[in-house]
Amino acid sequence: MDNSTVAAVRTDLSTDISATEPAATTTLTYPISPDYVKTWTSVRALSELIANALDEDPDARVAWSDGVLTIADDGPGIPEEGLVLGHSTKTAGQIGQFGEGKKLAALVLARSPEIGQVRCETVGYGFTPSVQRQRLLGGLVPSLSGQGAELLVYHLYRTGRVKGTVFTVECSRELAEQARSRFRALTEPGYRPPSVPGQCVLDGEPGRIWIGGVLVNVQPDLLCSYDLPLDAKGMQNRDRTVVDAVALRTAVRGMLATSQDEQIIGRFAQHVLAGGKLAEPEQFFSDVHQPYPRAAWRRWARTHLPEHTYYTTTGNEQAALSLIDNGYTELTAAGLPSYLQRSLMDLLGVEVAKTQQTRHYERARNKTTWVPDRELTAAERATLTAGRDLVRRAIGPFALDRVRVYSASEQSPCADGFYTPSTGDTAIHRDVLADRHLTLLVLIHEAAHRVAHRGGGRWLPTADYQDRTRGFEYRLSDFAAVLLGYLADSTPLPGAVDEPARTGRQPRLAPADDPAVPAVRRELAHLLAERLPGALVDGSFRDAKDLVASTGVHPDYWRTLTQPKVAGHRQQRGGRAWDYDKNALLATAAGLHPPVVWLGYHLCEGPLHGRPRAKWRQPGRWAKKMRDAIERACIDLEKLGEPYARHIPALRALAEGGTPAGMHDDSWHAPARSLIAAERRRLGLHSPQPPGADG
């Protein structure tokens, strides 16, 4: 307590409280059971008096000096009803809950041996409480305990005070500090009670639970402290010492699941990745659904985790070994149950080992230096052809399809060959072709991968076809048995099988150039494609997948925006890119304004979205969901200013049905096309514009 607070309180005392005990003019007596609020401590009672003062006056003064704790406020005083048990004037916006705090506090302080005299001075009167033990009617009323009742007696007297209330309590400094420290408003300058859902507090001792800044209890198993909003008062018991467990869990999880604070994210991520456990109220990972909190988790992961990571579950051990060989780092959360570990890793953008292994090979597939057939020497070509034909004759024509030669590869940097499941191709290192024995070894090994994966002849496909798996080892052993059978029986190998002629792929029109797709969507797709290289540099992203992963948004959103569909297309799963916040995250990562991206794709759906197909051609207001989204985009355009804000009236007129939006022409798409043109000018992407894209 600083000197200014003590001085202010002394001024209150010198002005309004006489130095001598005033003569009592009347008494007010309450018969009380000796066990009533027996669990309350002196600190609890002092805290109630402080809470009442803060309710009446946010600038209430609390100070201890010379053995006396003084609690002073400039409120309206305590009316007569304030002395009546059962009467309350508390509101939802006040700290107090039941309205009887100061009456019960007076009882507890008056009966406590740790407390000296207690005095209250308020508007027009004052009182000193005391507790007396007495048998009713001199013992004529029977008593089960034989101890009789306690009497809480208020000794009332008149005062000249015209505003405020001052409580003075003789107590030790330790008790006063314990009571004062329970209030954030007194220990943290500028404190204001949090709004819904509350505030997660990282500083100080963890596990403290406040409601409106008033400490309720401490739960040491929690990782952080939490300040719940004032409307959570109903979660606590009458003594304000216990918070309902279910309500606390809901409140804490809601608070954490919506947080975008990377310090909070870091506190939990580092704790669980180090093997720590979480108390039930803080097991919130599966509750994080909103786009911006999920994006905040991805930002933290990009900054603090290794570039190549995975996690393991039962059945992924072999895939994990393969990833370790390729330089990946395993992340674990040993203190979490499996379902929470999955949710955590999803938030961090870390994939399970099998999935990550597949993606690794897909990513690395195009990072292989292939050797064209024409560059092979005659000896290398002969060794490869002979080895390939020998394996196909011994095992079957399905054993090997295309065999490609490479000189370097990031897909399997430590191997002499590899099999690509997505294409069925086999690869062999050029250096291997110098040795016939090694060539046959690699080809039969990779053929075992291929046949285990795809099946053929007598063999059925199996799920475990990777290195170090049972399915692969069985298949390789089968091959050995087949070859030994040929050797033992002196049976010649079957003849070579002619390969069918290959047919090339027919070229496909790119979605961003398909004339069936609305021009505004095509222009947006081209804008995203042209902006992508700059966005990758600005955000230090490896590629488009890395950019999308950093936002926590499903890749379907990016695919939909860059490979647009015709208006009215309805996909069974995904592919709509509707959510405004998710569009905004992708747009921001690409360096574009969110309303431009959302409108560029969705304005053409205005008269269709939320309507039955039979009513698509009918005029009138657009569906409410579409109108709300348009209005949100308009609010964001207004924040951007010119030249974006000038299109707001036209957009609102469309949404309200004031401007015709027929299916026979796209002239009403002009606002969105103009916004895309404005983005191009801002970014210096001055490519030729289609007609109608003036801004």
Q: Which residue is associated with the tokens 């597939």? A: 365
| 379 confidence band (pLDDT: 50, 70, 90) | very high
Which string of b and e fits 639-659 if b means at least 16 CB within 10 Å?
ebeeebeebbebbbebbebeb
The model's confidence at residue 18, banded by pLDDT at 50, 70 and 90, is very low
508 is written with which tokens?
Answer: 């496909």
- Return the DSSP state at 574: S
Rounded distance between C-alpha atoms, residue 294 and residue 330, angstroms:
22
With 90 as the cut, is the pLDDT of residue 364 above it? no
Residue among 80, 107, 74 at smallest CA distance from 26? 80
Is residue 504 scored above 50 in pLDDT? no
Question: How much is the average pLDDT of 659-676?
Answer: 88
What is the pLDDT averaged over residues 492-506?
A: 59
Asked whether the predicted pLDDT for residue 584 surpasses 50, the reply is: yes
Instruction: Judge whether residue 11 has pLDDT over 50.
Output: no
Q: Which domains does the chain have, with CATH numbers?
A: 3-187 (3.30.565), 199-281 (no CATH), 310-342+350-365 (no CATH), 368-489 (3.30.2010), 512-683 (no CATH)
Model confidence at 346: pLDDT above 70? yes
Mean pLDDT of 30-45: 82
Most confidently modeled range among 348-357, 480-489, 680-689: 480-489
User: What's the burial of 588, exposed, middle or buried (CB within 10 Å: 0-12/13-18/19+)?
Assistant: middle
* Residue 695 in this model has a pLDDT that exceeds 60: no
- The tens digit of pLDDT for each residue in 402-436 reads 899 999 887 677 789 999 887 788 999 999 999 99
- Would you place residue 693 in the very low, low, confident or very high pLDDT band (cuts 50, 70, 90)? very low
Please give, one letter per residue, the 3-state secondary structure of 482-499: HHHHHHHHCCCCCCCCCC
Tokens 């059925």, residue located: 460
User: What distance in Å separates the CA atoms of residue 669 and residue 676, rounded to the nearest whole number?
Assistant: 11
**Phi, psi at 282, each rounded to 5°:** -100, 10
pLDDT of residue 516: 67
- What pLDDT, on a 0 to 100 scale, did the predictor assign at position 694? 44
Checking if the pLDDT of 94 tops 50, the result is no
pLDDT score for 237: 66
Per-residue pLDDT of 383-398, as tens digits, reads: 999 999 999 999 988 8
pLDDT score recorded for residue 387: 95
Average pLDDT over residues 673-683: 95
What is the pLDDT confidence band of residue 362, given thresholds at 50, 70 and 90?
low
For residues 679 and 593, the answer to whether their CB atoms sit within 8 Å is: yes
The pLDDT score that the predictor gives to residue 256 is 96
Task: Tell me what the mean pLDDT of segment 262-288 comes to.
Answer: 95
pLDDT at 224 over 50: yes
The predicted model gives 170-195 an average pLDDT of 90
- CA terminus-to-terminus distance, the chain: 63
Q: What are the strands of the beta sheet with 417-420, ordered from one edge? A: 368-371, 403-409, 425-429, 417-420
Can you tell me the distance from the alpha carbon of 490 to that of 551, in angstroms, rounded to the nearest whole number? 63
How do residues 625-640 score in pLDDT, each as one tens digit?
A: 999 999 999 999 999 9
Positions of E strands within 320-461: 329-330, 368-371, 403-409, 417-420, 425-429
**Rounded to whole angstroms, what are the CA distances from 448 to 475, 487, 522?**
6, 19, 46
Pairing assessment for the beta strands 225-228 and 199-201 based on DSSP bridges = antiparallel
The Cβ of residue 46 has, within 10 Å, a number of other Cβ atoms equal to 28
User: Which pTM was predicted?
Assistant: 0.69
Query: For residue 156, which phi and psi values (nearest 5 degrees)?
Result: -95, 145
Res 15: pLDDT: 44
Span 319-334, average pLDDT: 86
| Cα distance between residue 540 and residue 572, in whole Å | 34
Per mean pLDDT, which of 41-55, 506-520, 536-550, 585-599 is the most reliable?
A: 585-599
Residues 6+ apart with CB under 8 A from 132: 150, 151, 153
Calpha distance 168→119 (Å, rounded)? 5
Model pLDDT, residue 313? 86
Q: Which has the higher per-residue pLDDT, 597 or 86?
A: 597
The pair of three-digit structure tokens given for residue 81, joined into one six-digit string: 């009803």
Residue 99 pLDDT grade (very low, low, confident, very high; cuts 50, 70, 90): very low
Question: Cα–chain-centroid distance for residue 329?
Answer: 23
